[in-house]
Amino acid sequence: MTIVATNSTPLSTLHFDNRFVRELPADPLTENQRRQVMKSCYSYIEPTQVKHPQLLAYSKEVAQLIDLDEQDCFSSLFTQVFSGNKVLNGMQPYAQCYGGHQFGNWAGQLGDGRAINLGEVVNQQGQRHTLQLKGAGETPYSRSADGLAVLRSSVREFLCSEAMFHLGVPTTRALSLITTGESVVRDMFYDGRPKAEPGAIVCRVAPSFLRFGSYELFSARGDIDTLKQLVDYTIRTDFPHIGEPSVEVYLNWFKEVCERTADMIVHWMRVGFVHGVMNTDNMSILGLTIDYGPYGWLEDYNPDWTPNTTDANSRRYRFGHQPQIAQWNLFQLANAIYPLIEQAEPLQEIIQNYTHVYTEKWQLMRTDKLGLNSFVSETDDALNHELHEILQLAETDMTIFYRKLADLDTESLEQSDQQLLASLMDAYYAPDALTTNDKTRICNWLRDYQKRVQLDGTPDTVRKQKMNAVNPKYVLRNYMAQLAIDEAEQGDFTLINELLELLRHPYDEQIDMEHHAAKRPDWARERAGCSMLSCSS
């Protein structure tokens, strides 16, 4: 591989400006023991040393964010630093303290149980990026766990972080995927049959890893002084454009958090992504997708589907419920910051307005997915509602359906039912299961859609280009990630890097990669790791 020199900063001389630890209160205790940490936003902690770290993959785009080039990323120093074996000058490793609501119930203190923040890099453009190792060992917040991560969950986190970014979804990023050379014991199915698996560490990158639960914990404890410090720090560091902290600014900040959260959820719905664990400790204050555990993409368009085996009965975090859960979580954040505002009415108004904000953004998103020029409620409410219904008539692959819909001829209204359906048949898992009534209903919708496009006067070539810019051809289906995991566990990392490259261009045709655009194969329906996932990692 040819290494090309770039205008970069050597890894050993990265500029760290650790504002989080400089301006916020630290845990006064330094021993690495599980405990309740009071009046502190973090605990200093060193990553656990590992025996034989090996770099499997890295994101060149994320490396560039922190001014590193290819030569840096293939260096021994890079592998040592991002496996936790070496701490660079300027790094101040720590684990965050936060709480959260899990599956609707207050869980108290949670914290970074297996994540260690190395420090905040300020790049040549003055942008701040926090570097965080996931799976780097025990912290005071590890509770009964070991603070480690296995290869399978790390592959999923690494690939999905970058896939989501290139899909245009707000997300944390992933710099590197490194194996530790050590085994980690996990009970994947919670069935009393634990086994040893390869350990791995992902370096995650984001401007901030603060969560809703970061604020909830101090409010729940009545520690309003620390709550105020944290909120003021957040505004000054990540929301400086809204002004110096005050009651009015707190409200404007909360309003922006609501808007960013709505944006994120709309993007999830656009690409068919299901987070799976929308606990308040997994909700970024910046409106970024964070904590990739049991996630998945809709393959069969089923609004009640959840990828999380823990959520299989209640389906609290199912695809179609994500907008409402986001609002519920924002309500918990409003409760947390209420002591700084002491006015319920403006907070309630912002929460209630979330529905309006989300609906507007959702309507615009649906308009783009259908290649229309604007949302016209008189026609498009019914059009969208009926589309939602026909997608559920038979097992329909959402990703493929929208890409095939872009190929529909809308300029000719003289097509038979068979001609209309021809371009869509690849989207159905069992096309023979479509009844005559199903086909009639689908064709009626397609004709309504043709007429709606003709009202816009948009040529098919233009409409197709618009649709294919927002409807991906390639998403990280769970079975694809599982195949990469299978090979990686046998020492072959080729598919990880092939998928990383594929997912850099999810809207492009990529002729040589057509096999990755196919429906989920039948063998993957029930196989572990290919559909639903557990929270175990």
Q: Assess whether pLDDT exceeds 60 at residue 513.
A: yes
Cβ(533)–Cβ(187) below 8 Å: no
Alpha carbon of residue 351 to chain centroid: 23
Q: What is the mean pLDDT of residues 211-217?
A: 98
**Model pLDDT for residues 441-472, shown as the tens digit of each residue:** 999 999 999 999 999 999 999 999 999 999 99
pLDDT above 80 for 6: no
Residue showing tokens 């009651």? 247
Where residue 537 falls among pLDDT bands split at 50, 70, 90?
A: very low
Residues 71-127 pLDDT 10s: 999 999 999 999 999 999 999 999 999 999 999 999 999 999 999 999 999 999 999
Asked whether residue 42 carries a pLDDT value surpassing 70, the answer given is: yes
Over pLDDT 70: what percentage of the chain?
98
What number is the average pLDDT over the span 292-301? 95
Contacts (Cβ under 8 Å, ≥6 apart) of 492: none
Q: What angle do CA 55, 180, 133 make, to 5 degrees?
A: 80
Task: Identify the pLDDT of residue 7.
Answer: 58
Residue holding tokens 């720090």? Answer: 233
**What is the structure's pLDDT at 335?**
98
Q: Inform me whether the pLDDT recorded for 152 exceeds 90.
A: yes
Q: What is the mean pLDDT of residues 418-443?
A: 96
- Tell me, yes or no, if 492 is annotated catalytic: no
Give which of 150, 204, 181, 148 is closest to 50, Cα–Cα.
181
Dump pLDDT digits (tens) for 49-68. Answer: 999 999 999 999 999 999 99
Tokens representing 463 are 């409409």
Maximum separation of any 2 CA atoms in the chain, in Å: 76
Query: How far apart are alpha carbons 364 and 249 in whole angstroms?
Result: 28
Buried b / exposed e over 470-496, threshold 16 CB at 10 Å, is bbbbbbbbbbbbbbbbebbeeeebebb
Using one digit for the tens of pLDDT, what is the confidence trace for 103-117? Answer: 999 999 999 999 999
Mean pLDDT of the region 158-175: 98
Q: How far separated are the first and last CA of the chain, in Å rounded?
A: 33
Mean pLDDT value of segment 241-266: 98
Backbone angles phi, psi at 147, to 5 degrees: 75, 10
What is the DSSP track for 146-160?
-SB-BHHHHHHHHHH
Q: What is the pLDDT of residue 534?
A: 80
Tell me the DSSP string of 272-298.
Answer: TEE-S---GGGBBTTS-B---SS-EE-
Per-residue pLDDT for 194 more than 60? yes
Inform me whether the pLDDT recorded for 1 exceeds 70.
no
Strands 115-122 and 128-134, bridge-based pairing: antiparallel
CA 357 vs CA 25, 57, 364: distances in Å: 35, 39, 11
Partnered with residue 171 across adjacent β-strands are: 289
pLDDT of residue 226: 98
SS3 224: helix
Average pLDDT over residues 360-366: 98
In the structure, what pLDDT confidence band is assigned to residue 192 with cuts at 50, 70 and 90?
confident
Residue 166 sits at the vertex; the CA angle it makes with 165 and 167, to the nearest 5 degrees, is: 90
Mean residue pLDDT across the chain: 96
| pLDDT value of residue 60 | 97
Tokens standing for 369?
């997915």
pLDDT at position 2 is 37
Instruction: Considering the candidates 281, 291, 300, 397, report the single residue annotated as catalytic.
Output: 281
Residue 536: what pLDDT?
A: 58
The rounded percent of the chain whose pLDDT value lies above 90 is 94
Q: What is the pLDDT of residue 526?
A: 86
Whole-number Cα distances in Å, 115 to 190, 212, 494: 22, 17, 27
Q: How far, rounded to the nearest angstrom, does the alpha carbon of residue 332 sit from its chain's CA centroid?
A: 21
- What radius of gyration, in Å, describes the C-alpha atoms of the chain? 24
Q: What's this model's pTM, rounded to 2 decimal places?
A: 0.96
SS3 at position 244: coil
Tell whether the model's pLDDT for residue 132 goes beyond 80: yes
Helices (H), 88-171: 151-167
Q: Residue 521: is it exposed, middle or buried by C-beta count within 10 angstroms (0-12/13-18/19+)? A: exposed
CA angle 447-519-157, nearest 5°? 120
What's residue 310's pLDDT? 93
Q: Indicate if the pLDDT at residue 4 is higher than 80.
A: no
